Amino acid sequence: MKFITKSLIALFIGCVLSSCKTSKEMTKEELILIESGTATTPFRILKITDPLDYTILRKKCTNVDFKKDKNVLPLLIGRMKATLEEANGVGLAAPQIGLTKNIFLFVRVDKPDMPTEVAINPRIVKHPEQTICFENDGCLSIPNLSGNSNRYPWIEVEYYNEHGEIIKERLEGYRRGENFVAIIFQHEFDHLQGVLFTDKLCD
């Protein structure tokens, strides 16, 4: 009985530390993609109009392994920032550039100068029951199309930044022209689950 109890405790601790998600180091193909350019070289953004791209965009991602991939992360993040800047977007998730990893960029429209921040292995830990209908949601991977999507008006989140520091915060805002950072985070988080905004359309 004691052995079973200790095993369950050890399993629980291990699950908490890993967020109960599998962390996998980058594959050879993923490393080739990341290292195919410099930190200022944009990636190609995948589009749902391409069958292979669509398959990747619909895959659920696995956690980033900080220990094994720390050397390649600066290059990946640099290239993702260059991609987002070139596309003039407010968010970019790894599946959109061909990597099925739990990492995305989001523009902090709620902060002065609107800096671009990195969310690695993110989680949404709390949200209200009610949703709002966010107007004119759009996606870099779905060109020339926008729609209204069901979203939470606020969320409590946990994620790691590029330095491996854990960030815990409450994000609010769902109005364009003011603050809609909570919507951006939800949109990019959905990408990591293989979910597109077109799956959440409302009237």
Supply the pTM of this predicted model. Answer: 0.88
Phi then psi for 111, rounded to 5 degrees? -120, 155
Which tens digits make up the pLDDT trace of 143-189?
999 999 999 999 999 999 999 999 999 999 999 888 999 999 999 99
Looking at the DSSP assignment, which residues form a beta bridge with residue 168?
158
Q: Which two tokens stand for residue 30?
A: 């993923």
Q: Is the pLDDT of residue 7 over 80?
A: no
| Mean pLDDT computed over 60-88 | 97
Catalytic amino acids?
188
pLDDT of residue 105: 98
Which tens digits make up the pLDDT trace of 112-142?
999 999 999 999 999 999 999 999 999 999 9
All domains of the chain in start order, with CATH: 36-200 (3.90.45.10)
| Mean pLDDT computed over 5-15 | 38
Concatenate the DSSP letters of all residues of the chain into one string: -HHHHHHHHHHHHHHHHTTTS-EEPPPHHHHHHHTTS-TTPPPPPP-TTSHHHHHHHTSPPBEE-HHHHTTTHHHHHHHHHHHHHHHT-SEEEGGGGT--BSEEEEE-TTSTT--EEEEEEEEEEE--S--EEEEEEEETTEEEEEEEEEE-SEEEEEEE-TTS-EEEEEEE--BTTTB-HHHHHHHHHHHHTT--GGGGB--
Q: Is the pLDDT of residue 18 over 70?
A: no
**Where does the pLDDT of residue 203 fall: very low under 50, low under 70, confident under 90, or very high at 90 and above?**
confident
